[in-house]
């Protein structure tokens, strides 16, 4: 039995605002997608990689990832979909007959360490069929009311939102990737949630959310600060510092 990693890299990186897709933006001389692929491969628990890429960039992404000497597992590259959820579904369709565990990881988390990959995969192999890494939340988090049709600032004052709840932060976890799944469960979750995949506002923001929607259990293992997500330029600066610390 084998473990497939789906590496999502098909996003455009709108919030980063560069003139190339985020996964191809360089950090310390290498594209984000390559950092992520190297760490997945060197975990020792990934047998093959499927990388989702933006339309028209399959050759560029294949050249970057599949030819890298540090990525010593078979690599396939496939064009992703309109949302992250759709991209994962496209990658999942390429799973082979022996793949019983699937890890889903974001190229936007390029420094997720190999030990985290092993921790997630081990928890799935130990019998937890859906596993996410998570960190405790340090801010106090407020839930706000949905926006009113008229808009919050409609009266002419500053934009304000009404708080409806303060969840107990001791029970909150900020979740990361890689997320790990029993392959059959992940397939069922994506099949059941398929109708959501076409639009950003409907799509699940992570794969575990689709499993939760089935009513199935999802488990959390300890996350890692290094698995931070690159969304903005500031995140790239922080990642650079983390890499310096690593070496
Ligand atoms: N249609 C999409 C959208 C996102 N992703 C991937 O999902 C991960 C998380 O997405 P995000 O951080 O939101 O990346 P982008 O969509 O590129 O960023 P933005 O929302 O700022 O455009 C990224 O590795 C991204 O490449 C994907 O494979 N397919
Ligand atoms: C999957 C994820 O990385 C878990 O934290 C996150 O939900 C991706 O979110 P994004 O808005 O697509 O960056």
Domain range list for the chain = 2-246
151, pLDDT greater than 80? no
Contact 53, 79 (CB under 8 A): yes
Q: Strand pairing partners for 244?
A: none
* Ligand 1 near 108 CB (within 6 A): yes
Burial (CB count within 10 angstroms: exposed 0-12, middle 13-18, buried 19+), residue 187? middle
pLDDT for residue 244 = 93
Residue among 5, 20, 22 to mutate when testing ligand 1 (max atoms within 8 A of CB): 22
* Ligand 2 near 206 CB (within 6 A): yes
Per-residue CA distances from 16 to 38, 122, 172, 213 (Å):
23, 33, 27, 30
Model confidence over 24-69: pLDDT tens digits?
999 999 999 999 999 999 999 999 999 999 999 999 999 999 999 9
pLDDT for residue 155 = 64
Model confidence over 173-207: pLDDT tens digits?
999 999 999 999 999 999 999 999 999 999 999 99
* Ligand 2 near 177 CB (within 6 A): yes
CATH 3.90.550.10 for domain 2-246:
yes
154, pLDDT greater than 70? no
| Separation CA 100–CA 103 (nearest Å) | 10
152, pLDDT greater than 60? no
């Amino acid at each position: 039995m084998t473990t497939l990693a789906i590496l999502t890299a098909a996003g455009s990186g709108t919030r980063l605002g560069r003139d190339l897709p985020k996964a191809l933006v360089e950090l310390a001389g290498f594209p984000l997608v390559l950092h992520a692929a190297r760490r997945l491969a060197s975990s020792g628990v990934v047998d093959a990689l499927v990388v989702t890429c933006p339309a028209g960039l399959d050759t560029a992404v294949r050249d970057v990832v599949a030819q890298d000497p540090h990525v010593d597992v078979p690599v396939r590259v496939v064009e992703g979909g309109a949302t992250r959820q759709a991209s994962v579904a496209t990658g999942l369709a390429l799973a082979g007959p022996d793949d019983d565990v699937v890890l889903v990881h974001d190229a936007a988390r390029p420094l997720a360490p190999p030990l985290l990959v092993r921790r997630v995969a081990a928890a799935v192999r130990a019998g937890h069929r859906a596993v996410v890494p998570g960190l405790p939340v340090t801010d106090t988090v407020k839930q706000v009311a949905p926006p009113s049709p008229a808009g919050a600032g409609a009266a002419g004052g500053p934009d304000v939102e009404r708080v409806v709840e303060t969840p107990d932060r001791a029970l909150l976890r900020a979740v990361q990737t890689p997320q790990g799944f029993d392959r059959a469960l992940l397939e069922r979750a994506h099949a059941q949630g398929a109708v959501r995949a076409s639009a950003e506002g409907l799509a699940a923001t992570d794969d575990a959310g689709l499993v939760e929607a089935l009513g199935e259990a999802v488990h959390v293992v300890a996350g890692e600060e290094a698995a931070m997500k690159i969304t903005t330029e500031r995140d790239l600066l922080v990642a650079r510092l983390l890499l310096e610390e690593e070496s």
